[in-house]
């Protein structure tokens, strides 16, 4: 029992350390859901579960040695939130925060892009887990995703946050998505690698 508890604590630490930036994304999504009704709250939750589910599945497959994606190519996923942010800026309405993504699959895509670097952490962790520990990890992740969504919904419903978004959300929300994409690209080193390949 003590061993399972230790595994659960480890899973919680791994999740929190790798997904803390998702709180920002979830908050932005829940704010736009409140102001534009897109995406809907259930789509945000479903998309978050789907996105992290894909990351965990890819990590498990990689841990088993069946899939190898060489670094830093996963960083190219940073282009997705940049594209979504730029599209929202071009379509923006000065009176409201734009819906950067409009459905569960869009939320899942952003979650995957934002969590591509998580795979580098998950793979070595999953290699050390037996079936029982893996089940504990999955259960903890399922609960933690729900808590993350609840935190994002709470922050996205906070009056001060809503007031800020109502004032400057028409450019702030897309800019946050562009910034997330830039951080993903820069942090992965993929841009420098591309220059090396081309050069």
Summarised one tens digit per residue, pLDDT across range 139-178 is 999 999 999 999 999 988 888 877 776 677 677 778 887 8
65's enclosing H/E stretch is: none
**Residue 169 structural domain:** 2-192
Q: Assess whether pLDDT exceeds 70 at residue 95.
A: no
Question: In angstroms, rounded to a whole number, what is the distance separating the alpha carbons of residues 107 and 198?
Answer: 32
Residue 73 lies in a domain: yes
Percent of the chain topping pLDDT 90: 19
| Contact status, residue 185 vs residue 79, Cβ threshold 8 Å | yes
In a domain, 137, yes or no: yes
What mean pLDDT comes out for the span 118-130?
81
pLDDT given at position 191: 67
- The structural domain count of the chain equals 1
Which residues have C-beta within 8 Å of that of residue 148, sequence separation ≥ 6?
19, 22, 23, 26, 48
In a domain, 198, yes or no: no
Any domain includes 197:
no
């Amino acid at each position: 029992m003590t061993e399972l508890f230790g595994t659960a604590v480890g899973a919680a630490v791994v999740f929190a350390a790798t997904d803390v930036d998702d709180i920002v994304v979830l908050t932005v999504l829940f704010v736009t859901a409140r102001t534009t009704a897109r995406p809907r709250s259930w789509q945000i939750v479903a998309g978050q579960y789907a996105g992290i589910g894909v990351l965990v599945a890819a990590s498990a497959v990689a841990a088993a040695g069946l899939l190898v994606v060489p670094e830093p190519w996963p960083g190219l996923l940073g282009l997705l939130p940049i594209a979504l942010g730029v599209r929202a800026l071009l379509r923006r309405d000065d009176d409201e925060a734009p819906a950067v993504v409009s459905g569960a699959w869009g939320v899942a895509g952003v979650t995957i892009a934002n969590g591509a670097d998580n795979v580098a952490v998950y793979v070595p962790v999953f290699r050390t887990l037996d079936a029982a520990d893996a089940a504990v990890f999955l259960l903890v992740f399922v609960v933690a995703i729900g808590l993350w969504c609840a935190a994002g919904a709470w922050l996205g419903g906070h009056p001060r946050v809503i007031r800020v978004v109502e004032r400057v959300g028409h450019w702030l929300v897309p800019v946050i998505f562009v910034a997330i994409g830039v951080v993903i690209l820069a942090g992965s080193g993929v841009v420098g690698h591309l220059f090396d390949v081309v050069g």
